[in-house]
């Protein structure tokens, strides 16, 4: 399944753009979830320690990918969700397999003990936005399966 994830181009700016596009393809669903206002950085640490950072912007009912950043400061994230690439790949693979994250692979489940993923923020209010928009964030990442479908 990890190979399937790799075939989808994860992680890349294109993958996150596709994720956002799929997640917002049903505007009514996002309207039902309600407005959000959040700049989330997604940090993926490769096996060689190299860090890649992607930005996602939640604005009202919209979710847009802000691409990849060499300097995360430029993006001005309110919180960063960080973890090793294996954990991210396992999450995407799980979602691809089940259509949505199973109980052990939701964003909250993966980050609650700070491992394998961790929510990092200078400001606890930024960190708490990770919980304030939990359902919207999960809806975004549950679209991972649709990215895989579109690419394979």
Partner 1 sequence: MVHQLRIGSRLIEEDVVTIATVDLGYIERAREGKFDLGWLRDSHAEWGIRARPSRVGLTLRDIAVGSYGEVPDHPPKRTMAPRGCDVDPDVPDMGYSINDKAEVWSDNVMELYEEAVSRQWSATRDIEWTELPELDADLEHAMCQLATVLSEVEMVAADFPAKWLWRINHDFVEAKMFLCTQVMDEARHTEVFRKRALAGGGGLGKAKAVVEQFLKVILDAQSYDEGSALMHLLAEGLVLSLFRAGELLSPSPVEKKIFRLCMQDEARHVAYGTMHLRYRLEREPALAPDFHAYLDRGEEIIAALFATPEVVEPTAILAAGSLKAAEEMGVGVSDILRTRMIEEYLARCDRAGLPRRGRMRLPEIILAGTSGGAEACVEGVAS
132 lines the binding site for partner 1 (CB under 8 A): yes
Interface segment toward partner 1; rule CB under 8 A; list 4-12, 64-72, 87-95, 109-117? 109-117
Instruction: With beta carbons less than 8 A apart as the criterion, state whether 16 and 69 touch.
Output: no
37 lines the binding site for partner 1 (CB under 8 A): yes
Question: Residue 40 is inside which H or E element, if any?
Answer: strand 36-45
Interface segment toward partner 1; rule CB under 8 A; list 6-14, 16-24, 64-72, 126-134? 126-134
24 lines the binding site for partner 1 (CB under 8 A): no
Cβ 52 to partner 1 shortest distance, Å: 27
Q: How far is C-alpha 97 from the geometric centre of its chain's CA atoms?
A: 17
Residues 93, 143, 38: CA angle, nearest 5 degrees: 115
Interface segment toward partner 1; rule CB under 8 A; list 5-13, 50-58, 81-89, 117-125? 117-125
Instruction: Build a one-symbol-per-residue string for 54-83: x at contacts with partner 1 by CB under 8 A, - elsewhere.
Output: -----xxxx---------------------
CA R_g for the chain = 14
- Pairwise CA distance, residues 52 & 116, whole Å: 16
């Amino acid at each position: 399944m990890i190979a399937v994830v790799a075939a989808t181009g994860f992680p890349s700016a294109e993958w996150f753009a596709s994720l956002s596009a799929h997640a917002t393809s049903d505007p009514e669903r996002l309207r039902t979830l309600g407005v959000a206002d959040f700049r989330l950085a997604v940090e993926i640490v490769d096996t060689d320690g190299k860090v890649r950072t992607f930005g996602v912007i939640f604005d009202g009912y919209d979710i847009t990918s802000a691409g990849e950043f060499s300097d995360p400061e430029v993006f001005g994230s309110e919180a960063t969700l960080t973890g090793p690439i294996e954990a991210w790949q396992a999450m995407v693979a799980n979602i691809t397999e089940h259509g949505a994250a199973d109980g052990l692979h939701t964003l909250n489940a993966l980050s609650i003990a700070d491992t394998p993923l961790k929510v990092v923020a200078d400001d606890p209010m930024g960190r708490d936005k990770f919980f304030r928009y939990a359902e919207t964030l999960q809806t975004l990442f549950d679209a991972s399966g649709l990215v895989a479908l579109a690419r394979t």
